[in-house]
Structure 1
Amino acid sequence: MLLAAALSALFTVSPARAADGRITGLAGKCVDVAGANTANGTAVQLYDCNGTGAQTWSNPGDGTLRALGKCLDVTSGGTADGTTVQLYDCNGSAAQKWAVSSANDIVNPQADKCLDVTGNNSANGTRLQIWTCSGGANQKWTAPASGGTTPSGFVVSEAQFNQMFPNRNGFYTYSGLTAALSAYPGFANTGSDTVKKQEAAAFLANVSHETGGLVYVVEQNTANYPTYCDWSQSYGCPAGQSAYYGRGPIQLSWNFNYKAAGDALGIDLLGNPWLVQNDSAVAWKTGLWYWNTQSGPGTMTPHNAMVNGAGFGQTIRSINGSLECDGRNPAQVQSRVDAYNRFTSILGVSPGSNLYC
C-alpha cells in the first residue's frame, strides 16, 4: 500500500511582480474587452478565455490594470453599487486605481467596492461592475501580478493555497510546490481552464486528507515504520528496515515506491528516503509522481481521471480505493469530497460530476 495513515490586507499591485496575463474569475472565465475594441467606453465583460489581447492584462506598478493599451476604469468615476466598468484612456484618476487583496478581491479604493460579475451570471458577455464586497465567487479573481499567478503558470495562487491550508506545516511551502511542477508539466496544465483548476483542487484535496491539512510531514504511527521494507525486492532496503515510512504530501511509503519514484525523478530516494521529509520540492515531486504515473488500486492515474472526465471519485479509487471505495469507508471518502468541494469553491469552478467511488 502506497499511502500511510494518514493575507487579508489590501495592497497595490507591485511592479516587482508585474506580468502580463489573464484575469480569471467565475466559472474559470476571463475578464474581456468586448470585441477587442479600443474605443473609450468599451464594455468590460466576462467571456470564455481565448488567449487574445482583449484578455491580456498587465500591471505597470502604478495601481492600474491595462489591456489593449488602455486602463480598466469605473464608468464616470462612480462609487455606487452597480456602476459598470469599461476600457478608457489611462488618466491617473481614482476611477482607474485597483488593489488586490490576498483573498483575491479586486477593489477600487475610491469606492471601496469590489470588481463584480453582474448577477453572478457566468454567461459570455455578462458586464462587469463594482459592488459592495461580499466574498462571493462572482468577486474572486486570479489577477496578473497580484499573487494570483506565478511564473510557473500554476492555476492556484499563493493566496488561494494559504486559504486552503491555513494551519499547514511550514515545510509544505508554496514555492516548493511550484518548483516541483516542472517534473510533470501536464499536471493542472491540460485541457480547459476549468479542468486545470479541477485537477489542482483534486490533487490538493487528496493531499489534504492524507496529511491532516498539510500538517503532517511524516507518518504519525511509528509502530508501522519497520513494516514498509519488502525484502523480496532485489535491491532490498539499503537505508534500513525502518526507513521507508510515509512521508510528504502523498505519504510515500514502502521501499519499492521510494525506488520507483526516485528512478522517475532522478533522485536516490531508495538510498536517502529522508530527502522526502527534508526538501519541500522533493516531497511535492513524490506526490506529483504518484498522481501522474500510478494507478494504485484503480484503473487509471488520478491525472487521467481528471483530464479525461472520469471525475474526482476515480482519483480516490486510484489512491486508496481498496480501503475506502465501494462502501468500505464512506466517512473517509466524504472527507476527501468535502475538501475537493471546498477547494473548487476557492478556485471558482464547478466540482463536476462523479465525486464518489
Structure 2
Amino acid sequence: MIRRITSFMAAVATIGALIVLGPGAATASAAECAAPWNSSSVYTGGKSASYNGRNWTAKWWTQNETPGRADVWADQGACGGGTDPGNPDPSGFIVSETQFNKMFPNRNPFYTYKGLTDALGAYPGFTKTGSETVRKQEAAAFLANVNHETGGLVHIVEQNQANYPHYCDKTQPYGCPAGQAAYYGRGPIQLSWNFNYKAAGDALGIDLLNNPYLVEQNPAIAWKTGLWYWNTQNGPGTMTAHDAMVNGAGFGETIRSINGALECNGGNPAQVQSRIDKYKAFTSILGTTPGSNLSC
C-alpha cells in the first residue's frame, strides 16, 4: 500500500509540474551563486561562498581554507550554471577537482587544485599519453607518490630542519647563492639540493637557484617542480616515472625513480607497501585498475 501511494503521489506531482510549466515554459534555473570565496575573508559557521561553480557553507570558523575540503565546507551543489567540479576540469586534467579533494581531504590549503592545473602546461605529455587507462594510472601514480612524500599534501617543506644545511653541494661552480641551508626539501616531491633547484629552475625558466623559497610560496611553481622531477629525472632509477607509467614498467618503477634502494629491493618494504596501497586507492577513485608490477 505504501508503495502504491508513493507512486500515485509521484504521478500527481509530475502532472502538476507539467500543468504549471505548460508548453514551451522554461525549466527551473540553477541556484544563484553566493558571493565568490575570498581567501582573506573569515567565514563563520553557516556562512556561504561560491567556488568553481558551486555553493559552499562553512561548517565553522574558517579562513584561507579552499572550499572543497569536506572537513571544513559543506557542498550545497552547483550554482549559476557553471562548471561542476564533479566533471573533468576544463584544462583537460583527467582528475576532477572533486576526485582531487577526495584523495586529499586534509590537505594544506597551499596545495590548490588550480595550482596543479596551472602547472600542467609545463609538461603537456603528463597524463595525456596513451589510453585513458594509462592516463588515469599515471595521474594516480603521481598523486600517490606525492601523497607519500608530503603526508597527504600536508607538508610544504621538509620537517627535519637538522637536514637543511646538508643540501648544499659546494663543489658545484654556481655554489649556494641563497645560503648554505636554503635548499631543503620543498613541494609535492620535496625538491632538495642546490643542483636540483638549479636544474629545475633552468628547465622551467624560473630562478630557483637564487630564490628557492618560491617553491614554498607559489602553488603552481611547487607543482611544476614535482612535474619536472616526474617527467624528466631518472633519480636513482633507470627511467623517469612518466616513462615507467606510459611504457608499462609499472608503479613499482616510479618508486625506484624517487627513492631507489632506500625503499626498493628490501630497503623499506613497509614504505613501498604504503605507496602501493595509496596508488590502489587513487586508481579506484579514478575508476580504473592499478595494472601490474606494483612493487620494486
Q: TM-score scaled by structure 1?
A: 0.60
**Within-5 A mapping of 1:148-163:** 148-163=87-102
- Deviation of the 1:151 alpha carbon: 1.9
**Distance in 1 separating the partners of 2:261 and 2:295:** 14
* Aligned twin of 1:351: 290
**Within-5 A mapping of 1:1-357:** 145-147=83-85, 148-357=87-296
- Deviation of the 1:92 alpha carbon: 8.4
State the AA in 2 paired with 1:337: I
Q: 5+ residue gaps in structure 2? A: 1-9, 12-23, 32-81
State the AA in 1 paired with 2:275: R
**Distance in 1 separating the partners of 2:169 and 2:111:** 29
- Deviation of the 1:145 alpha carbon: 3.6
**Distance in 1 separating the partners of 2:164 and 2:25:** 62
Tell me the SS of whatever aligns to 2:125.
coil
Segment drifting more, 147-156 vs 274-283: 147-156
- Deviation of the 1:263 alpha carbon: 0.2
**Distance in 2 separating the partners of 1:236 and 1:321:** 26
**Distance in 2 separating the partners of 1:145 and 1:338:** 32
**Distance in 1 separating the partners of 2:184 and 2:25:** 58
State the AA in 1 paired with 2:216: Q
- Deviation of the 1:149 alpha carbon: 1.4
- Deviation of the 1:321 alpha carbon: 1.4
**Distance in 1 separating the partners of 2:120 and 2:97:** 14
4+ aligned runs moved over 4 Å, structure 1? 91-94
User: Higher helix proportion, which one?
Assistant: 2
- Deviation of the 1:98 alpha carbon: 11
RMSD, matched Cα: 2.3
State the AA in 1 paired with 2:128: N
- Deviation of the 1:255 alpha carbon: 0.2
Deviations 1:26-76 (A, max 9, x none): xxxxxxxxxxxxxxxxxxxxxxxxxxxxxxxxxxxxxxxxxxxxxxxxxxx
State the AA in 2 paired with 1:298: G
- Deviation of the 1:352 alpha carbon: 0.4
Q: Number of residue pairs matched?
A: 225
Deviations 1:215-251 (A, max 9, x none): 0000000000000000000000000000000000000
Q: 5+ residue gaps in structure 1? A: 1-76, 79-90, 100-143
**Distance in 2 separating the partners of 1:306 and 1:184:** 15
**Residues 183, 92 of structure 1: CA spacing in aligned structure 2 closer, same or farther, 3 A cutoff?**
farther
**Distance in 2 separating the partners of 1:190 and 1:206:** 19
Which protein has greater RCO, CA pairs closer than 8 Å, 6+ apart? 1
State the AA in 2 paired with 1:310: A
**Residues 228, 98 of structure 1: CA spacing in aligned structure 2 closer, same or farther, 3 A cutoff?**
same
**Distance in 2 separating the partners of 1:347 and 1:151:** 17
State the AA in 1 paired with 2:242: H
**Distance in 1 separating the partners of 2:114 and 2:25:** 34
Q: TM-score scaled by structure 2?
A: 0.73
**Distance in 2 separating the partners of 1:98 and 1:259:** 49
